[in-house]
Amino acid sequence: MKNLNYFFYPKSVAVIGASGKKHKIGNVMMQNMIKAGFKGKLIPINPHEKIILGKKCFASVTEAGKIDLALIAVPAGIVPKIIEECGEKEIKAVIIVSAGFNEVGNIKITKELFQAMQKYPDMRVLGPNCLGVLHVKQGIDTMFLPRDRLGRTPDGRISFASQSGAVGSTLIDWASMKDYGINKFISFGNALDVNVTDLLEYLNKDKKTKVICLYIEGLEHGRKFLEVSKKVSKQTPIVVLKGGVTEQGKKAAVSHTGSIAGEARVIKAAFKQANMIEATSFEQLFNYARVLSNEPLTKGKKVQIITNGGGYAVLTSDFLIKNGLELGKMNKKSFDKIRKVVPPHAELKEVIDLTGDATTKMYKKSIETALQDKNIDMILLIVLFPTPKLEKEVVNEIIKQHKKQLKPLIVVSASGKYTEKQKSLMEKEFVPTFSFPRSAAQALKALYDYSFFKGKVKR
Amino acid sequence: MKNLNYFFYPKSVAVIGASGKKHKIGNVMMQNMIKAGFKGKLIPINPHEKIILGKKCFASVTEAGKIDLALIAVPAGIVPKIIEECGEKEIKAVIIVSAGFNEVGNIKITKELFQAMQKYPDMRVLGPNCLGVLHVKQGIDTMFLPRDRLGRTPDGRISFASQSGAVGSTLIDWASMKDYGINKFISFGNALDVNVTDLLEYLNKDKKTKVICLYIEGLEHGRKFLEVSKKVSKQTPIVVLKGGVTEQGKKAAVSHTGSIAGEARVIKAAFKQANMIEATSFEQLFNYARVLSNEPLTKGKKVQIITNGGGYAVLTSDFLIKNGLELGKMNKKSFDKIRKVVPPHAELKEVIDLTGDATTKMYKKSIETALQDKNIDMILLIVLFPTPKLEKEVVNEIIKQHKKQLKPLIVVSASGKYTEKQKSLMEKEFVPTFSFPRSAAQALKALYDYSFFKGKVKR
């Protein structure tokens, strides 16, 4: 197993190609490391400058002090030479963000780079043609996209490795808007050294990572990848999204990161065999990951819907059933308990419909009862926040009930400016929230399938 | 055809059950009409108050001046009596937001209400158990959900009728967050008088409505509805989302608005026969509607992707092909034109990949060329806004090209706070934007299908 620690926990980081000029990639990278709150030593490298953003600049890594991690943002042509300098300096980890290698058919320079890398077998290299690493907790942000244009995620339990920088970064941007927590994000690009299999092995041993997400377009070493995935998925759920699965998509993938997309059906079958959870869209990737990282496994397929909007429950029931799940029904004693706190027109059947008059107290009692009732395996709350009688406290109540971790508990609550604020509050406390019943149902199904695979399903 | 004009263009509106007390429904409704900027006369009705929100209050409609539209927000038990008062007063249109009728099995009071209504065959009644109308352009907002909790949409070209108030209002909230324009929104509830068929006929004649969206759970008069739909869909596209399609969902639908959900397969087949466009989720409903209302029809299925993110194009190609569309390929002359303004590593094939170095100028030239190239039927732009070199002006350029209305042109651009702002700017100018390649591909497919139905597809 390759040691990747220095990508995520370096004490000193050099930016090779750092620049004092705004909008230059080497400047954006320096700024982002500073804004990310990196506590170690940040060292700009540029032979033409003295000081960059208040930090002393060195002509080359050779002249600088100790460096754990080097970020390379110089034109492709001089990258092999820079790599040799890094190797001689015994730098532990290097991220090459520069593009212009095999992904655009530049085989000559790619070979030169590869040969340089092989001289230093103990130096780990990420890239080229990648965005590198975002590790919020340690203040590592090597992405060269400005922070005011592309948001960064809060700390969390999901780690995410992406072959495509564009796809990876846009997913980070989206997750940041939603306040989904990410532990480690890695854009690995052309993967001349560190590849997706290495990352899988590393993240599986990482205690902070509860779920691994992958975005891959093609595989260089498919057999090894699947072998490792098979082992890892027994310990850590792997959610995978595959780009480039149709014939024409494949053509695009070939040119994009210089790897081969492979036959879609074969690859899908292989994912299944390795017990990976396949997402078929961006939304699904994090939807599955959030539920798998934040919820206990389920003992069965019976879902209790608790709602304050009848129509929403109708749609949600549909999607649960379409996904092979069932509506649960609590026992009479449970209904009696809930009946005491709800209005007479509330419906207590397979769906607990608290109606538009729902209050925090009603949600609390219904959730507590469903958590105890043996007929119920999972809880899906539908909360339409705009109803005038619903107090703001309902958010804290849901967070409190969710923290018990007795049964999977997720929230569906449409979308809108006010509602998104409430959902952000819940996401920050790791309650998975959804805008659409379909997404929620699919995510619970993924949790059910993984629970089944882990032998937790009892009926 | 029933005359529904007074629901959307009243000169005087009475709120029966108006209240001076905050959080009361009758107070929220008064406030919302004021905040919506209603320019006509707003008349509170309540025997126990003198002045509400600065407006003179009357004990009953009988004592007030002329009233075009009355909103009823009083307990179910006294609604029949109030309806008689409205009838005697010769009020043209009434919206009953009160619940507690057939939707909760209260047949006796429902019968009483129905009998009262039948005495006044010229008075149109919406509801009961509904939210009524949102017609931004005329300042009509009868929804009793506070505006700080549930957003209101900008004016637009889509009209939307919903059987469920909860589903309808959450969709409005979502659309408002996204700046999707809505012309008329109608929540029709139990539909004792004005039903979905009436609304279809009315909206079809409405010049401001380019697409009709429907959310329905069950149908009372299915044959008539389908007959009318068949006629309407030849003139105005109808996008329909059906709740309550599984057996258990059906049970929920029966109790929810007192109508019967019907056999899912039968209803789906009927939709198809009537050439309605079926959405299978909330997202799809407005995704289809936005493209159908804002884009010209397409002559074929060849889509030109223009992108600044390779990985995104890979996924998008997949989804286009999965949806039966094709990637277009421009002719050599077109490529020559574009080649002049793009960097050497840009790829000009089925996908125009401007790479992360894309600028406004490159997008402009590529779009202009694709709009002219005969091999291209539709344009799908992928714009990843966070890339440092892309100027803000690209938004205005896209809006300008879109205004030409030469070919369908839509934008996919992930999501994130900065990006959402750019998308809002485009939505306000009626450029359909999407966060996810799948949604965009499905929407173009819906446009293709409708274009085919209208005989516009030439190949």
Task: Check: CB of residue B355 under 8 Å from CB of residue B345.
Answer: yes
Beta strands in A358-421 (DSSP E): 378-382, 409-412
Encoded amino acid at A133, one letter: V
Question: Domain B150-294 belongs to what topology?
Answer: Rossmann fold (3.40.50)
Examine the pLDDT at A276 and tell me if it is beyond 60. Answer: yes
Residue with tokens 């970020």: A71
Q: What is the reported pLDDT for A47?
A: 96
Q: Where are the domains of chain A?
A: 1-130, 153-294, 296-453
Inter-chain touch A177–B144, beta carbons under 8 Å: no
Token code pair at residue B93: 């249109």
Query: How buried is A288 (Cβ within 10 angstroms: 0-12 exposed, 13-18 middle, 19+ buried)?
Result: buried
pLDDT given at position B257: 57
Starting at the edge strand found earlier in the chain, the sheet holding A140-141 runs A140-141, A132-135, A182-187, A158-162, A211-216, A238-242, A277-279
pLDDT at residue A261 tops 80: no
Mean pLDDT of A364-374: 98
Is the Cβ of B265 closer than 8 Å to some Cβ of chain A?
A: no
Q: Is the pLDDT of residue A173 over 80?
A: yes
pLDDT, position A251: 56
Domain A153-294 architecture: 3-Layer(aba) Sandwich (3.40)
Phi/psi at B455 (5° precision): 75, 20
**pLDDT at res. A104:** 82
Look at phi and psi of residue B255 and say left if phi exceeds 0, alpha if psi is from -120 to 50, else beta.
alpha
> Phi first, then psi: what are they for A326, rounded to 5°?
-130, 155
SS3 B130: coil
**pLDDT class for B312, splitting at 50, 70, 90?**
confident
Closest CA to A441 of A339, A265, A269, A312: A312
CB contact under 8 A, B247 and A420: no
> Which one, of B106, B90, B251, lies nearest residue B192 by Cα?
B106
Q: For A257, what's the count of Cα atoms within 13 Å in the CB-facing half-sphere?
A: 34
Q: Do residue B167 and residue A311 have CB atoms under 8 angstroms apart?
A: yes
Question: Residue A384 is which amino acid?
Answer: L
- Mark yes or no for CB contact B25/A388 under 8 Å: yes
Tell me which chain A residues have a C-beta less than 8 angstroms from the C-beta of B28: 388
- Tell me if the domain spanning A296-453 has CATH number 1.10.3720.10: no
Region of B363 (left: φ > 0; alpha: ψ -120 to 50; beta: rest) is: alpha
Helix (H/G/I), strand (E/B), else coil: A255: helix
pLDDT digits 0-9 by tens, A64-99: 999 999 999 999 999 999 999 999 999 999 999 999
Q: What is the pLDDT of residue B260?
A: 46
Architecture of the domain delimited by B1-129: 3-Layer(aba) Sandwich (3.40)
State the average pLDDT over residues A3-28.
95
State in Å, rounded, how far the first CA of chain A is from the last one: 39
* Structure tokens belonging to residue B225: 């509805």
What secondary structure letter does DSSP report for A101? Answer: S
| CATH architecture, domain A1-130 | 3-Layer(aba) Sandwich (3.40)
Q: Note the pLDDT tens digit of each residue in B140-154.
A: 999 999 999 999 999
Q: How many CB atoms lie within 10 A of CB A1?
A: 9
Distance CA A339, CA A305 (A): 16
> Are residues B309 and A245, on separate chains, in Cβ contact within 8 Å?
no
B78 vs B261, more confident: B78
Q: Which two tokens stand for residue B399?
A: 């809006």
Nearest CA among A419, A422, A415, A457 for reference residue A439: A415
- Average pLDDT score over residue span B164-188: 94
Rounded to whole angstroms, how far apart are CA atoms A141 and A36? 6
Comparing CA positions, the residue from A40, A13, A41 lying closest to residue A29 is: A13
Contact B170 A416 (CB under 8 A): yes
Terminal CA-CA length for chain B: 39
Asked if residue A224 has pLDDT above 70, the reply is yes
Percent of chain B with pLDDT over 90: 83
Contacts of B378 (CB under 8 A, 6+ apart): B298, B301, B302, B303, B304, B325, B328, B407, B408, B409, B410, B444, B447, B448
Two tokens, residue B245: 């399609």
| Pairing, β A132-135 against β A277-279 | unpaired
Q: What is the pLDDT of residue A260?
A: 47
Q: How many CB atoms lie within 10 A of CB B323?
A: 19
Confidence of residue A263 (pLDDT cuts 50, 70, 90): low
Pick the closest to residue B308 from B381, B380, B369 (CA basis): B381
Confidence of residue B292 (pLDDT cuts 50, 70, 90): very high
Mean pLDDT of the residues in chain A: 93
Q: How far apart are CA B303 and CA B316, in angstroms?
A: 11
Question: Is the CB of residue B151 less than 8 Å from the CB of residue A417?
Answer: yes
Q: Which residues of B330-360 are buried (b: 16+ CB within 10 A; e: fewer)?
A: beeebbebbeebbeebbbbebbbbbbbbbbb
Number of residues assigned to chain A: 459
Judged by a CB distance cut-off of 8 A, whether residue A324 touches chain B is no
Place of tokens 């998509």: A249
Inter-chain contact B246–A164, Cβ cutoff 8 Å? no
Question: pLDDT digit string (tens) for A439-449?
Answer: 999 999 999 99
Q: Which of residues 130-189 of A touch B (CB under 8 A)?
A: 144-146, 148-151, 162-171, 173-174, 176-177
Predicted local confidence at residue A254, as pLDDT: 52
Residues 6+ apart with CB under 8 A from B139: B33, B36, B37, B38, B39
The amino acid occupying position B136 is: V
Dihedral pair phi/psi, residue B220, rounded to 5°:
-85, -40
pLDDT reading at B244 higher than 80: no
CB-based contacts of A93: which residues, under 8 Å, 6+ apart?
A4, A6, A7, A10, A68, A69, A70, A123, A124, A125, A126
The Cα–Cα gap between B435 and A253 comes to: 21
Beta-bridge partners for B15: B44, B71
Residue A439 C-alpha from the chain's centroid: 16
Residues 6+ positions from A295 with CB-CB distance below 8 Å: A405, A408, A409, A410, A432, A447
The answer to whether B256 contacts A25, with C-beta atoms less than 8 Å apart, is no
- Per-residue pLDDT at A458: 84
Percentage of residues of chain A with pLDDT beyond 90: 83
Instruction: Give the C-alpha separation, B18 to B30, whole Å.
Output: 7
Helix pair A417-428, A165-178: axis angle to 10 deg: 100
For residue A227, what pLDDT band results from cuts at 50, 70 and 90? very high
Q: Cβ separation of A257 and B384 shorter than 8 Å? A: no
- For B22, name the nearest residue in chain A, comparing CA atoms only: A388
Nearest-by-Cβ selection for A321 from B145, B173, B249: B249
Run of H or E residues at A107: helix A107-118
Tokens of A432: 């998975």
**Over 60: is that where the pLDDT of B239 sits?**
yes
Per-residue pLDDT tens digits for B25-69:
999 999 999 999 999 999 999 999 999 999 999 999 999 999 999
Name the closest residue on chain B to residue A148, using Cα atoms. Answer: B418
- Which pair of tokens denotes residue A391? 């107090």
Tell me whether A222 touches chain B (CB under 8 Å): no
A459 and chain B in contact, CB less than 8 A: no
The answer, for A313 touching chain B at a CB cutoff of 8 Å, is yes
Higher-scoring residue by pLDDT: A208, B283: A208
ipTM summary value: 0.80
What mean pLDDT comes out for the span B390-417? 96
CA–CA distance, A320 with A301 (Å, rounded to integer): 10
The answer on pLDDT for B262 being more than 90 is: no
B271 has pLDDT over 70:
yes
Q: What mean pLDDT is predicted for residues A158-172?
A: 93
B41-45 sheet: strands from edge to edge: B41-45, B12-16, B69-72, B93-96, B124-126
Number of Cβ within 10 Å of residue B389's Cβ equals 14
- Token output for A243: 């780009």
- Residue A325 has a pLDDT of 97
Whether B262 and B372 have beta carbons less than 8 Å apart is answered as no
The helix or strand, by DSSP H or E, that contains position B155, with its residue range, turns out to be none
